[in-house]
Every structure is written in C-alpha cells, then in structure tokens.
Amino acid sequence: MPRSFFFGTMPAMPVPWLQIVQLVPSILDVSRELMKRTKQAPPAQLPASPSHEQLAARIASLEENERRQAELVAQMAEQLAGVARAVTDLHKRVLWLTAAAAIALVLAATALFVAL
C-alpha cells in the first residue's frame, strides 16, 4: 500500500536482496537438515502391544523433534528480525536522503532565482 510522502506517494519498500542472498547459505543448511529428518520413514507397523520403554523412547524422540523445530523457528525469527531491522534502516536512509534532496532542490531554485 503506498504511503503519503513529500510529493505524492511512495511505493512499498523494495526487498533487501543483498541481505537475503547473505542468508541463503544458512537457509539452505536448515532446509537440508529438515529434508533429512523428514525422509526418515517411521516404522511401518508398531508392535501389537508396545512396551512402556518403547513408548517412552518414541515420546522422547517426538519431544526432541519438537525441541529442534522450536530452535529452527527461533533461528528463522532471528533472521527475519535482522532483515526487518535492515529494511527499517534502509527506509530511514531513504527518508533522510529524500529530505536532503528536497532541501538541495530548494537551495538550487533559490540560487537560480537570485542569479536571475
């Protein structure tokens, strides 16, 4: 959605491709690890009456998997926060540069008016 700005509207901020490209190796590592985990097929059939130890081992495995997923989500959130900070910084810089350009334009027009 366009925002109101000095002289009209400003389109949505562009995607910070440089930082996304910098994060690609870690994203690929995490995605490969996820693919390895998901490709491991669960046992075809459970024993008719699994023992308490087998059930406890499966629960522990599920809890460990859930912990890893929580770590992954936390890592992704940190990376997203970094990208958001970068976008915010870039947006502030654009605002400052636009203000500086507007001031320079006013000064140039004033100098031109005085010269004539």
Model's pTM, two decimal places?
0.49
Whether 50 is covered by a domain: the verdict is no
Whether 10 is covered by a domain: the verdict is no
| pLDDT tens-digit map of 31-87 | 777 777 777 766 666 667 888 998 999 999 999 888 888 888 888 888 887 888 888
The three-state (H, E, C) secondary structure of the chain, written as one string: CCEEECCEEECCCCCCHHHHHHHHHHHHHHHHHHHHHHHCCCCCCCCCCCCHHHHHHHHHHHHHHHHHHHHHHHHHHHHHHHHHHHHHHHHHHHHHHHHHHHHHHHHHHHHHHHHC
Domain encompassing residue 68: 17-35+55-115
Residue 10, C-beta contacts closer than 8 angstroms, at least 6 positions apart:
2, 3, 4
Q: Cα separation of 55 and 60, whole Å? A: 9
Whether 25 is covered by a domain: the verdict is yes
Whether 29 is covered by a domain: the verdict is yes
**Phi, psi for 9 (deg, rounded to 5):** -120, 155
- Which of 20-29, 81-90, 106-115 is the least confident region? 20-29
Binned at pLDDT 50, 70 and 90, residue 106 comes out as very high
Q: How many domains does the chain have?
A: 1
Residue 67 amino acid letter: R
